[in-house]
Amino acid sequence: MRTRNSKPLSSQTAAREVSLGALGYLAGDPERIGPFLAESGLSPVDLRGVAGSNAFHVALLDYLINRQDMLIAYAEGAGIEPGHVVAAREILAHADLGED
């Protein structure tokens, strides 16, 4: 997902890629990941155990969406529209309902 793409996200795989990219963005700077960990109650060690959970990815994307400056910075760096982050959050939030 390195090129700017205006096509809407439609799959859990694409949504998970967006979320994993967001996690990498946050983890790349202690000043970004620290507040997320503090707010979520997770430790860095906990991340491995929860990284496969859709609930974790939804919470991560919620965190990013609620911080517009970080959302825009992540989207620009990833070459995606900020709306793709919102779409990824919705896809993952509904994934446990059997939707793709």
Alpha-carbon gap, residue 69 to 48, rounded angstroms:
26
Q: How much is the average pLDDT of 55-77?
A: 96
The pLDDT value recorded for residue 5 is 47
> Is the whole model's pTM more than 0.75, yes or no?
yes
The pLDDT value recorded for residue 40 is 92
H/E/C letters for each residue in the chain?
CCCCCCCCCCCHHHHHHHHHHHHHHHHCCHHHHHHHHHHHCCCCCHHHHHCCCHHHHHHHHHHHHCCHHHHHHHHHHHCCCHHHHHHHHHHHHHHCCCCC
pLDDT greater than 50 at residue 55: yes
Banded model confidence at residue 3, pLDDT cuts 50, 70, 90:
very low
* Domain positions in the chain: 12-95
